[in-house]
Amino acid sequence: MNVAKNNILYVTDREPVIMSKGKDMYLWDTNGKKYLDFIAGWAVNSLGHCPPVLVDALIHQAERLINASPAFYNDKMLEFADLLVKNSCFQRVFFTSTGAEANESAIKLARKYGQVSKRGAYKIITFEHSFHGRTLATMSATGKQNWKPLFEPKVPGFIHVPFNDIDAVKASLDGETCAVMLEPIQGEGGVNEANPDFIKALAGLCKETKTLLIFDEIQTGLGRTGKFFSYQSYDCEPDIMTLGKGIGGGYPLAAMLAKDELNIFSKGEQGGTYTNQPLGMAAGLAVTGEIIKRKLWKNAEKMGNLIKSELATLASRFRLSSIRGQGLLLAFNVPDEKATELMKKCFQNGLLINSPEPSMIRLIPALTIKEEHVKKLMGILEKCMKEMF
Ligand SMILES: *Cc1c(COP(=O)(O)O)cnc(C)c1O
């Protein structure tokens, strides 16, 4: 296999190595080089690489039933929906394969609600620097500045306002608004936390104006931020929540959860070839069950705090700033827009970290991470930063 000469359509730059094996916190390439993984497939491998519970569930289910048809119930989908409902404030679940589809479902459900209960209201307020996916509608919902000119014309009906600014929401909200949609902590946009007063005011405003509150917890959900779901740390109940990434532990899976009153789609208005696909349901059930059984949000909080305090000890020496985030959704800024350079240097030194912006490093490792991995992380980071700053 030759990476330099390949037939993959270009969409991004990649390091010229081929990944071929994973175990727990580590990945190996075809040359046998080992990498400590603090990206985890972008907060996806919640139990680390190839965890036995997931491997066993996939093997067992693959031997029994891989795909029936979205037209039939299967045992795993019922069991999995039960588990999610028992552990959240929602009563209804729709399963998809990707986060973008889960958000598309939420957008469609909000518009349906507008049709049924709010005289055709269709507008959805979202936030600057938000990220909701890469389909045309979810790109339209996304508040990334550099996406504005792309693939015009966008899907109409999305209004972007500054994050944490309740007055801006009030100014944009009118009789045509069916929903407000946000990430409680903006992941791709820079690990920006919603402030509790803002969420409280927003939830109140939504209730008052019969506007749906949608939490996109595709990155923050399933234990990542130190709670099972991030909304639980804001003392509020959204009407709709979307999940993805960590829910399948690496198997492509996502979900939209909604309150019982929103069980309002008519036959045929939403669906999908792979909704409730048994293999995915078995994967999600095993991964989510394990997160709950081991209360992994507690480990996320503990290890997250350890990483933050370790980073703080390096801050003045290397001019690190804005060490932030909750649980294991963490970020910090490096001087002189050198995040990409630091990321590349770490890569050479066998450490995978992510840089969504020129001065920002994001850490989103598996929820199962141990102290020894944090020590290794800090050792490599310190070595690389010493050479650079
Ligand atoms: C990753 C992400 C999405 C999109 O999920 P995909 O599975 O890539 O479609 C949407 N919202 C948030 C907050 C995300 O982090």
* Mean pLDDT per 10-residue interval, the chain, length 389 residues: 89 95 98 98 98 98 97 98 98 98 98 98 98 98 96 98 98 98 96 97 98 98 98 96 98 98 98 97 98 98 98 96 98 96 97 95 98 98 94
Q: Is 220 in the pocket of ligand 1 (CB under 6 A)?
A: no
pLDDT of residue 2: 81
CA atoms of 25 and 23, how far apart (whole Å): 6
282 close to ligand 1 (CB < 6 Angstrom): no
Q: Is 217 in the pocket of ligand 1 (CB under 6 A)?
A: no
131 catalytic residue (yes or no): yes
To the query of whether residue 174 is one of the catalytic residues in this protein, the response is no
Q: Which of 234, 232, 206 is nearest to 221 (CA)?
A: 232
The two tokens of residue 234 are 């804001």
Active-site annotation holder among 118, 216, 239, 345: 216
User: What integer pLDDT is reported at residue 1 of this predicted model?
Assistant: 77
Question: Is 389 an active-site residue?
Answer: no
Give yes or no for residue 99 CB within 6 A of ligand 1. Answer: yes
What is the predicted pLDDT for the residue at 235?
A: 86
Question: pLDDT value at position 4?
Answer: 85
